[in-house]
Amino acid sequence: MKSWVPGPGEIQPEAKAVAVAAVVKMLQPTETRAVVDVIDAQYGGILSDSASVLVPCRVYSIRANRLISGGTTVDVRLSKSNGSWRVTATHPAQPGAPAASLSAAARQVLASEQITLPPASAADIRSGQVHDSVLTTMLELAKTYRIGISVIRSGHPIDVFGTTRPSDHPKGRAFDTWQINGHAVVSPSTPRSLVTSYMQAAESIGSYNVGGPYQLSGAAYFSDNTHHDHVHAGFRT
């Protein structure tokens, strides 16, 4: 299985490389045969001397001659000193127990072949803690795009990184997209028009807060270093 490495277009790629190495080491115990498949590494926040790197991954292990698949998303906190990044904390996702029943939108997202969910995000939906505004937007977007989700609720910082302002993610009112039609948002080879049309579609469907690598015209849009590698869509309810 190919290891994750930072590609072109990354900001502070060393921070992501250090975070991914820490997650692989944490999830790959020596007593169990396991393979950690890192889906992506995106920023939950990046400042000059601190960062949050979100690492969604799948984990495959052999137990009693059976293949067990699972995975999580880890919020890795880092600090920078003397030009080097080091891990200061790791926060694995805590999606919660599966709900007794799910909305029709939740069931449709989980079954969609157009929407690729990492394990923690799928568990978020199964927990019943993701608002239908998020789910119905995903389904509408999936009519036009194949989308790779990186983070929904768990595994994301509680507050917007570097502030005391609550993030919409832990409330189940936001989702991040790292891949559109097989193209990574962070890659310089991904057509700008693909990313901007996706951002505009998310806003037109109902997102009040759309972040990405490009600053678009309109009150709903924003862009910064944190969002150079994914598209964020947030909802009020």
Residue ranges per domain, the chain? 13-92, 104-234
Give the confidence band of 162 by pLDDT, cuts at 50, 70, 90. very high
Residue 156 burial (CB count, 10 A): 28
CATH topology for the 104-234 domain? Muramoyl-pentapeptide Carboxypeptidase; domain 2 (3.30.1380)
β 84-92/66-81 pair status: antiparallel
pLDDT digits (tens, 9 = 90+) for 163-217: 999 999 999 999 999 999 999 999 999 999 999 999 999 999 999 999 999 999 9
Tell me the whole-structure pTM to 2 decimals: 0.95
pLDDT the model gives residue 64: 75
- Radius of gyration of the CA atoms of the chain, in A: 17
Instruction: Flag whether pLDDT at 30 surpasses 80.
Output: no
Domain 13-92, CATH number (from 3.10.450.50, 3.30.540.10, 1.10.3720.10, 3.40.50.720) = 3.10.450.50
Over the chain, what HEC string results? CCCCCCCCCCCCHHHHHHHHHHHHHHHCCCCCEEEEEECCCEEEEECCCEEEEEEEEEEEEEECCEEEEEEEEEEEEEEEECCEEEEEEEEECCCCCCCCCCCHHHHHHHHCCCEECCHHHHHHHHCCCCCHHHHHHHHHHCCCCCEEEEECCCCCCCECCCCCCECCCCCCCEEEEEEECCEECCCCCCCHHHHHHHHHHHHHHCCCEEECCCCCCCCCEECCHHHHHCEEEECCC
- Average model confidence (pLDDT) across the chain: 95
pLDDT the model gives residue 61: 84
Share of the chain above pLDDT 90, in %: 90
Cα separation values, 138 from 92, 95, 125, 176, 224, Å: 24, 19, 12, 10, 23
Work out the average pLDDT over 47-54: 97
Instruction: Flag whether pLDDT at 31 surpasses 70.
Output: no
Residue with tokens 């199964």: 126
